[in-house]
Amino acid sequence: MSKLTLGSYPHMLGFEQLERLLERSAKSGNEGYPPYNIEQTSEVSYRITLAVAGFCEEDLAITVEDRQLVIRGRQGDDCDGRVFLHRGIAARQFQRMFVLGDGVDVGEAVMENGLLHVDLSRSRPETVVQTINIKKG
């Protein structure tokens, strides 16, 4: 059985980039860390919340790269002179990626009680009606 792609449908024109985004999202390597929630806060807005206990604002980087929201965390190893009898809280780095649709913009990011909140908003697309004149050939 062959894999169906958006190119398999002749009436779906110009969706090649969407297909590439879906493939990239599937290969993004998002593991289970850190855990996150995505909630719809209104008809046109969303909030992504990541549990980033132990990270401070300086340890985190939020970027938008080629329609992907990328959130990275890297903690410095601050155990100079400290002797751990048990170390269950690892200083581990992470990278979370979220593919953004057209018209979705990243708003503000807020740290609160070990949670990183990133707000997104979606602009309403304008309805465009275009009439195409037919020329004699």
Contact 109, 117 (CB under 8 A): yes
Residues written for the chain: 137
Contact 74, 59 (CB under 8 A): yes
pLDDT in tens, the chain (137 residues): 556 666 677 777 777 777 776 776 666 555 688 999 999 999 999 999 999 988 999 999 999 988 889 999 998 766 667 888 887 776 689 999 998 988 899 999 999 999 999 999 998 878 889 999 999 97
pLDDT of residue 50: 96
Domains of the chain: 9-122 (2.60.40.790)
